[in-house]
Structure 1
């Protein structure tokens, strides 16, 4: 497909979720070939692949547990074999474990960090040698505005997302000389179907959220996807080490 990402190859993790799906579709529409990484959602991955292909794009679904270093290595190798060298990593996969601080055990803590921080480190470590070899690459991590705003019952998640911002800044310093940029996109309250499973009163939740924001509408996955797509293009070649909040003005400054 003609577009600013023609000839580029991207790996999107968590690709079957609300954010991941929108990101994958946008990058494919911009011309990138997309590897759709997911954990165990074969049907959704197949449907997303078909949708991208029907619209003229290139996509392949790949399943792996990103907490397993060997499985992650195999995933990256498969993506390379099927699409070519990965030069855009969108590290999006994560979980949202809610648990009061008083009930957070070392096991819960470790699980939160393994999914929401360590897997991002493993992916970047796996893919940056190939990016360095060609002198070009994009690492785009998906954080959360909660790393700044905070919220109860999410200590593991918020700690991991804060760490992810730090990892991204460190990668920007380490990899900038090799032509690789690293940035974090931090969504605010984005309306996705999964929200219905964790919110008792969606309307009350909407009212509370809009009171926090400058922009008086809920965020959409497409808002995040547009930011990711921009950071993947050559227009963002001089932007690195940044956290871009896509939150409707929830957190200012």
Structure 2
């Protein structure tokens, strides 16, 4: 029976590229989305047209009840989740002193509580089966911090801490938990940056280019593949040399 991967935030950008990468390897793909139903359905249709099995599932990962219901629907339609990719996330640029309590709480809810919710929902089954892979998406800003993105940097650092601690706890159950911390990637999220800022970021990258969603998808798939069976609790950062 084909394995099943759940990719959160799969309707566009890095999430969509990750979904396509796993589909190419024969996985059944659960495409989680929060709001962009049309994009998720379009991706599912495109993958189906290529002979892959992919279904969209709506849930706000910050809401535990929605995540629980989503997991039940995934298991009914696709079977148990073998690989969880916690990709869903939001970003915001704002001076620290201008951040509101709501800004902070929503950032924590989606980017840190979201992975917590999804991990807690899939792990009982993985522990019972004594196998499973979890790949969490952090950021280079979780490694080194970013001015005007304090709340984003804080939660992405939290994802790294969650990954390392959970890897130790899940190791005896033969479950690998790893993290990918992308550099500056050419996505809709970064399309909000002006051309001058993007040019500066490109110049500051030793390889002289921005990453593509497919670059991140390759790293995620590697950590979920049998080639990484002896790797756990690690942070892989495809960033073109931006952070070394």
**TM-score, reference length from structure 2:** 0.97
| Aligned equivalents of 1:123, 1:98: Cα separation in 2 | 26
Partner of 2:59: 64
How far 1:8 sits from its partner (Å)? 1.3
Instruction: Note if 1:227 corresponds to 2:222.
Output: no
| Aligned equivalents of 2:188, 2:110: Cα separation in 1 | 21
Instruction: Note if 1:218 corresponds to 2:213.
Output: no
How far 1:192 sits from its partner (Å)? 1.3
1:93-112 correspondence to structure 2 within 5 Å: 93-112=88-107
2:139 pairs with 126, 130, 144, which one? 144
2:232 pairs with 240, 244, 252, which one? 240
1:10-89 correspondence to structure 2 within 5 Å: 10-89=5-84
1:148-175 C-alpha deviation (Å, 9 max, x unpaired):
2322211111100000000000110010
1:32-89 C-alpha deviation (Å, 9 max, x unpaired):
1010000021110111001111111110000011111111100111111110000100
1:111-143 C-alpha deviation (Å, 9 max, x unpaired):
111111011111101101101111110000010
Equivalent residues of 2:203, 2:209 under 8 A apart: no
| Aligned equivalents of 1:244, 1:177: Cα separation in 2 | 22
> What is the SS of the residue equivalent to 1:246?
coil
Partner of 1:131: 126
Root-mean-square deviation (Å): 1.1
Greater CA drift, 13-22 or 101-110: 101-110
Partner of 1:3: none
How far 1:207 sits from its partner (Å)? 2.6
> What is the SS of the residue equivalent to 1:187?
coil
1:163 pairs with 152, 158, 164, which one? 158
| Aligned equivalents of 2:225, 2:103: Cα separation in 1 | 37
> What is the SS of the residue equivalent to 2:181?
strand
- Unaligned 5+ segments in structure 1 are 1-5
4+ residue segments displaced more than 6 Å: none
| Aligned equivalents of 1:140, 1:148: Cα separation in 2 | 17
How far 1:236 sits from its partner (Å)? 0.5
> What is the SS of the residue equivalent to 1:48?
helix
